[in-house]
Amino acid sequence: MEESLARMAVDSKKYGHKFIKNVFDNIAENYNIENVDLVISDTSDCVAAYYPIKINGKSGYIEYNYELIIKRCLSRIKKYYEGDFNENHFIPLYIITVFLHEFEHARQEIVLRHNKDIEGLILSDSINGLDNLYKKYTGDNYNILKLYFGSKRFEKISNKLYSYNPEERLAYIKSTEIAAKVASLVSTKDYFVFKKSFLQKLKYGYSQNEDERGMFASPTKRYLDEISNNNHWKDIELMSDNLFFIERFLYGLDVSREEMETLNKILKVNSLQLKLIR
């Protein structure tokens, strides 16, 4: 998949709806997720979103707002490339990352149903917890459309928790990690830009300072505590014993000062390499 996406990023001359459809089809085929539809929206206030709602004979759809994608993309170019950038590659790579992210949400539904590993348990507590919380606040059955457009009070809570939400953290981190692999086949500079973004996303939801235990506290635990659904936390902690340190960040678990320092060092080296290419 990485090779074909890299080829599309380099070969395409324009990055409009046709490019997006090709990216969408490519990821869908590689992830074996064929029952998701693609929907264009001019009015959505999200760049893109995955909805597990039946449409056109499919079990869910990814909706995107093209204008917003390009707008967000241009603001990111300034942030990452500081004036000297290969614009042609960043735009397609950014679009690819957006769709990898949404497909990650579609994949989470499958993980939730079939996997009893650490990711499956975290997603189970997270997704079911939000469901319960929604019922508590609205007295209604969970419905993702109502979740986003119905309850302002609920929206406020879910926005507050966004950076700790393990579903979002997992989707951001995994999609950017794959995007960095795609970028590595496009150009060295694009690779370091996307790798930097990946490394920064590992820190999402962690506070700047250690807590009284001398640890950087788990954003996932904080999220599950806030939505009052940490049923599997003991099992999650048991399973996390042998994880590589990057995986502790991926799942948003407690990390030690050494682990945080190691990640910061990797980030620093990456930033230096990026500067050298300029």
Shortest distance in whole angstroms from residue 241 CB to Zn ion: 29
- Cβ proximity to Zn ion, 10 vs 33, nearer residue: 33
Shortest distance in whole angstroms from residue 101 CB to Zn ion: 6
> Pick from 198, 208, 205, 210: which is nearest to 252 by CA?
205
- Cβ proximity to Zn ion, 130 vs 274, nearer residue: 130
- Cβ proximity to Zn ion, 119 vs 168, nearer residue: 168
Shortest distance in whole angstroms from residue 161 CB to Zn ion: 13
- Cβ proximity to Zn ion, 97 vs 124, nearer residue: 97
Shortest distance in whole angstroms from residue 173 CB to Zn ion: 11
How many chain residues touch Zn ion (CB under 5 A)? 2
Does 250 help bind Zn ion (rule: CB under 5 A)?
A: no
- Coil, strand or helix at 88: helix
- Cβ proximity to Zn ion, 174 vs 181, nearer residue: 174
**DSSP line for 232-252:** THHHHHHHGGG--HHHHHHTT
The H-assigned helical ranges of 115-165 are: 118-138, 144-149, 152-160
β-bridge pairing 60-64 and 48-51 = antiparallel
Does 47 help bind Zn ion (rule: CB under 5 A)?
A: no
Shortest distance in whole angstroms from residue 48 CB to Zn ion: 8
Shortest distance in whole angstroms from residue 89 CB to Zn ion: 24
Backbone angles phi, psi at 167, to 5 degrees: -60, -45
Residue 195 CA to residue 197 CA, distance in Å, equals 5
- Cβ proximity to Zn ion, 7 vs 76, nearer residue: 76
Residue 200 CA to residue 183 CA, distance in Å, equals 17
Handedness of CA 19, 21, 106, 71 (dihedral sign): positive
What residues from 152 to 211 belong to the interface with Zn ion (CB under 5 A)? Answer: 168, 171
Q: Which residue is nearest to Zn ion (CB)?
A: 171
Q: How many CA atoms lie within 13 A of 257 on its CB side?
A: 6
Which residues in this chain contact Zn ion in the complex, by CB under 5 A? 168, 171
